[in-house]
Amino acid sequence: MRTDMAYLLAMLTSEIDELDARIIDLLSTEPRIGIMEASRRLGVARGTVQARLAKLDERGVIRGHGPEVDPGRMGYPVLAFVFLQITQGQLKEAVALLRRVPEVLESTAVSGPSDLLCRVVARDTEHLQEIVNRILSNQAIRRSTSYIALSQPIRYRTGPLVSAAGSGPSA
């Protein structure tokens, strides 16, 4: 077992440990698995799995337990990343507007020449143009720049990160 100071510090401040990582991995691969079956496969008590899940939920490490939805299979095959420049002092208004647009899946404040980066889905490019025009019709939004995704060679994933975080710092 490693005992160097950097490793010990990382273990004390790590958000998850190896068992947490194994629990998350199992539930990510098999989201419908029950707690009893998960505890059996992991070789730990049912109460341990429940307690770990409760702590992961409480700390916000696990953000959801619902089904993952594919917008493309729901009729929204166009994915675009839309950078928005906000009128100074109107971020709240801009965010309120974006919350009312169902095709805006997420919005993140960013540094650089733009203020927000939005992940937007649309039925086709004409629909994307309608969405962007609707967003730009509000004076809280000054300018937009859109990038349409052509493919997604790596889908959103957390598995490798969970594995790395659960195994502690590498040597």
Q: How far is CA 30 from CA 46, 62, 110, in A?
A: 17, 15, 34
**Residue 17 carries which DSSP code?**
-
- Tell me the one-letter amino acid at 4: D
Structure confidence at residue 3 (pLDDT): 52
Closest CA to 136 of 89, 83, 92: 83
Band of residue 105 on the pLDDT scale cut at 50, 70, 90 = very high
Supply 120's token pair: 């937007």
Structure confidence at residue 167 (pLDDT): 80
Q: Taking 50 as the threshold, does the pLDDT of residue 10 lie above it?
A: no
Task: Tell how far CA 132 is from the center of its chain.
Answer: 23
Q: DSSP string covering 42-72, please?
A: HTS-HHHHHHHHHHHHHTTSS---SPPP-GG
Higher pLDDT, 156 or 93: 93
| 39-62 pLDDT, tens digit each | 999 999 999 999 999 999 888 898
CA torsion 113-126-107-26 (nearest 10°) is -130
Share of the chain above pLDDT 90, in %: 69
Q: Taking 80 as the threshold, does the pLDDT of residue 16 lie above it?
A: yes
Domains (ranges, CATH) in the chain? Answer: 5-66 (1.10.10.10), 71-148 (3.30.70.920)
Residue 96 near residue 107, CB atoms below 8 Å:
no
Residue 168 near residue 19, CB atoms below 8 Å:
no
Helix (H/G/I), strand (E/B), else coil: 102:
coil
Residue 86 near residue 110, CB atoms below 8 Å:
no
